[in-house]
Each structure stands twice: as structure tokens, then as C-alpha cells.
Amino acid sequence: MIGISGLARSGKDTLAKYLSEVMLEDIGVRPMVYSFADKIKWHLRDVIRDQYEINPYTEDTEEKKIIRDILVCHGETMKKIHGKTIWADLMFKNLNKGKTKHFPIIPDVRFDFEVKYIQEKGGQVIHISKIGNIPPNKIEEENDPLCKECADIQHTWGVYAPDQMDNCKDHASILWQILKQGNGEEWKKTYC
């Protein structure tokens, strides 16, 4: 399992996409991308669609800015009620329901305890930074350095135009080789 941490809009989903491609080419395993925040978005989907006319799963930067505070507030409130690992617990509960084995990549690791959660389950975490990216809120400003400190790998990349996205795959290839070192064929066996 691979976790990816970093600030909002740092390229976590982009890295997950390219890591999936690289892993498929290298070891014949197609990872599945999962998210701690999926349940948060699912809980609030009707309110966000009805009140703001935005899909909570949007990739549009401006729409994400509009709904981010609502999602963060719900996530934090539920953690106060049910414990700080509620979102990781729910994701892993759903992950383990399936009968098919698969390799998870989780590109929304935002807290040091989530980094440790993944590491305790045998996974590794990459912290990604994008040059010029700034925290969108106080929670990310406080927690991103903690995630970076706990991560197995820290990596920084630039801002790429759509026609330069092959650079992202090059980064993913290098990161995959670093992750793979020492584990060899074990990566093929580490399905959930």
C-alpha cells in the first residue's frame, strides 16, 4: 500500500495516477486508488449539490475552494465524536470487504496519524510538495509539516503545463524505484 501526503493541489492524485501506470508496466499489478475523504464527500453530497450546485467530487480548483471548509468541518467534527482515525477505519473496512485482492494507493493522507496508520499496515508514504504551493487553511498549514516529517519519502516537483505531464510520469517512475528497493517481489504480494 502506498499513501501520498501533501498540501491541497500539490499533485497527489496526479502522482497516484502515474504510479498506477508505472506499477502496472513494471510488476503487472494495477493499483486501486482509494480516499480517506470519500466518505466525507458521500455524507455531504446532497447538501453540497443542493445548496451550492457543486459535485463534491469535483476536480475544479475554484469549486474545491468553495466547498473545502464544509468538508473539513464535517471531517473534523466526526473525528471529535468517533475518534481521529474514523476516516481511515471506514476506508479500510470497505477495502477489506471485497473478495478480489488489490493494491491500494491512498492520495489524500493529511495527518501524521494517517501516515503512521498506513505504515503500521505495512505501507509506505510519499510526501509530495509542489513549488509555489501554499496551504489552503490552518489545518493543512499545521499538519502538512508533520506528515512530511513522518513520510518514508519526501519529493518536490514543479508546476507542469498540460503538455508537460510526461514529466510527472518520470517522477512517478523514480519514486516507484525508490519504494521498490528492498522490497523486491514483495510488492506483488502486498495486496489487501
Read off the pLDDT of residues 102-143 as tens digits, 9 standing for 90 and up: 789 999 999 999 999 999 988 999 999 999 999 988 999 999
| Average pLDDT for the chain | 88
Give the pLDDT band of residue 28 (cuts 50, 70, 90): confident
pLDDT above 60 (res 187): no
Beta strand pairing call for 104-109 and 32-33: parallel
Domains of the chain: residue spans and CATH: 2-189 (3.40.50.300)
Residue with the three cell numbers 482515525: 85
Q: What is the pLDDT of residue 114?
A: 95
Flag whether pLDDT at 167 surpasses 90.
no
pLDDT score at 9:
87
The three cell numbers of residue 69 are 471548509
With a cut of 70, say whether residue 189 has pLDDT above it: no
- What does the pLDDT look like over 56-71, one tens digit per residue? 999 898 998 899 999 9
Among 8-17, 86-95, 157-166, top mean pLDDT goes to: 8-17
Task: Say what the pLDDT of residue 184 is.
Answer: 46
Q: Which three cell numbers stand for residue 114?
A: 494517517
Cell of 115: 501516515
Average pLDDT of the residues in 72-88: 94
SS (H, E, C) the chain: CEEEECCCCCCHHHHHHHHHHHHHHHHCCCCEECCCCHHHHHHHHHHHHHHHCCCCCCCCHHHHHHHHHHHHHHHHHHHHHHCCCHHHHHHHHHHCCCCCCCCEEEEEECCHHHHHHHHHCCCEEEEEEECCCCCCCHHHHHHHHHHHHHCCEEEEECCCCHHHCHHHHHHHHHHHHHHHCCCCCHHHHCCC
The pLDDT value given to residue 93: 85
d(CA 4, CA 14): 10
* pTM, entire model: 0.85
Contact between 135 and 9 (Cβ < 8 Å): no
- One-letter amino acid identity for 97? K
